[in-house]
A = this chain, B = another copy of it.
């Protein structure tokens, strides 16, 4: 009797687990039978250049994506406003659905410097085996066309397995995320009737460095400053004028060098003011997350790290100031003996909840002023340069703020359960390190965002030789299928 009861219970449990696992499992089976077909469709998509400013190719991307939707019998259209790449929109209406789940991804990629790429052609995807694992190299292989491919393959699998959807599904694929999503909010607002949803699943970014599937309930905001400081009007011979004409590379070094201490703590006054504290659930999630710091340090050949002993995942909840690039004169074989005319730095400021991007820009500018610079917002003329001892031309880029969705909401808990039906354990982060324009999305759609990354962490995102580990694409298809199967 007892044994029978246990058998019945086990049977029910097994059935329940099977039922719950069905979308991810179906995705795995379908993928294993269609790997070449998936990879072929994916590499065709990667072969279309996708820099946000390249309007001709972005239109080609958008049309290719529409065809991918049509091939799945999904009603698609381009959402446009002038002077911006179109948002590709797709919609599956499910009878009696109680929820609408929106899958966001972006089809543009970071600018490329082909000479830095192995093979020199970022838009000719190449398969390479690294440490016995197959990877695909090409711009946006991971960031973020992989997410689009995973969504489409997941849909193929569900359709093939005749697993009915329970929720309405929408796809929103943006074409200028890497250029700051300058028009996304306006495009969404211009199509409010179409783009509503109960949750936006932001399918972008890498999973945890442990390779465990991750869910991020927020993302850092982002903005930029470009700083140019001035030496002589044109490059000078370093012998004839050395000791007399100020060197702008040195001036910029002094200006930037003072912005941080030796541990990477930012010394700009008020830089950390206003940061919203983490909730108890968020703190617990961080404590449960794997600590990969030592392994990463080894992987990245780092003899020391910043942060004064705090872990990487903890530091993602703190604002950053990063030098993306610095340049003056020339180095290496092209170096020559000059006092450069200008020196330039590109700064990236990542924001966390509680700190507005305009405030953060202003704090940096105030610091530059406090260092004795006259700050101008257009290129300075002769009169200005002669008048002031030190002039900095600061270009403020647009930006967006960080957001964080509570892990305690019902939709948050449902998303966690769905993802766990595909992979366990799941790393739950209050904030992911990367930035996605969640603020504008939340404002335009009046809803929450939750980020579901699928790429490998070591994907060279934003750099040369960007790649996706093929197994991450396969795992991502299962994750997407599980999320599409949600109620």
Q: Taking the complex as formed, is A318 at the interface, i.e. its CB lies under 8 A from any CB of chain B? A: yes
Confirm or deny: A119 has a beta carbon within 8 angstroms of a beta carbon on chain B: no
Q: In the bound complex, what is the Cα–Cα distance between A431 and B293 (angstroms)?
A: 55
Q: Is the CB of A302 within 8 A of B245?
A: yes
Separation of A232 and B312 alpha carbons in the complex (Å): 14
Q: Do residues A338 and B462 form an inter-chain contact, with CB atoms below 8 A?
A: yes
Rounded to whole angstroms, the CA-CA distance of A113 and B348 in the bound complex is: 29
Most buried by B among A222, A254, A390: A254
Bound Cα distance A327, B254 (Å): 15
A323-B463 in contact (CB<8A): no
The answer to whether A322 touches B337 (Cβ under 8 A) is: yes
Whether A242 and B350, one on each chain, are in contact in the complex, defined by CB atoms closer than 8 angstroms, is yes
A282 at the interface (CB under 8 A from B): no
User: Which residues of B sit under 8 angstroms from A464, Cβ to Cβ?
Assistant: 235
B232 and A433 form a contact (CB under 8 A)? no
Assign chain A's interface to a size class: 35 or more
CA distance A250 to B332 in the complex (A): 19
Q: Which residues in chain A, 302-318, are within 8 Å of chain B measured between CB atoms?
A: 302-307, 312, 315-316, 318
- B325 near A326 with CB under 8 A, answer no
Interface set, chain A 271-321, CB cutoff 8 A to B: 293, 297-307, 312, 315-316, 318, 320
A433 surroundings in chain B (CB, below 8 A)? 237, 239-242
- How far is B300's CA from A325's CA once the two chains are assembled, in angstroms? 26
Residues of B close to A239: CB separation below 8 A: 220, 222, 320, 350, 432-435
Q: Do A326 and B329 have beta carbons less than 8 Å apart?
A: yes
Would A301 and B232 count as touching, CB distance under 8 A? yes
Given A226-B331, A335-B346, 17 more pairs with CB closer than 8 A: A110-B337, A233-B299, A236-B463, A238-B322, A243-B315, A244-B305, A250-B259, A250-B323, A252-B326, A253-B256, A253-B326, A323-B328, A325-B331, A325-B340, A326-B326, A331-B345, A331-B346
Binding site for B on A (CB under 8 A): 110-111, 113, 178, 205-206, 220, 222, 224, 226, 230-247, 249-250, 252-260, 262, 264, 293, 297-307, 312, 315-316, 318, 320, 322-340, 343-346, 348, 350, 372, 382, 385-391, 432-435, 457, 460-464
Of all A-B residue pairs in the complex, the 6 with the closest CB atoms, nearest first, are: A325-B329, A257-B257, A242-B320, A239-B434, A240-B433, A254-B257
